[in-house]
Amino acid sequence: MPSVETSILFMGAAPILNLTPGPDMLQVTARSVGGGRMAGAVSAPGIALGSL
């Protein structure tokens, strides 16, 4: 079992890492800029489904 210090560090880092944009966010942004709002709206659920 991890130590208390490791658990606290993990709980602090996890939300920060989840909030930082990654390649999927760049994909949605690029599709939205290139193809409009609808292209971004179609791309976002596709990425979410692919993450499962």
* Predicted pLDDT at 20: 82
* Predicted pLDDT at 52: 74
Q: What band does 42 get if pLDDT is binned at 50, 70 and 90? A: very high
39 lies in which domain range?
21-52
In a domain, 52, yes or no: yes
In a domain, 13, yes or no: no
By C-alpha distance, which of 51, 31, 27 is closest to 40?
31
* Predicted pLDDT at 49: 86
Count of domains for the chain: 1
In a domain, 15, yes or no: no
- Angle at CA of residue 25, ends 20 and 27, nearest 5°: 150
At 8-41, the pLDDT tens digits run 999 999 888 877 888 888 999 999 999 999 999 9
In a domain, 35, yes or no: yes
In a domain, 45, yes or no: yes
pTM for this one? 0.57
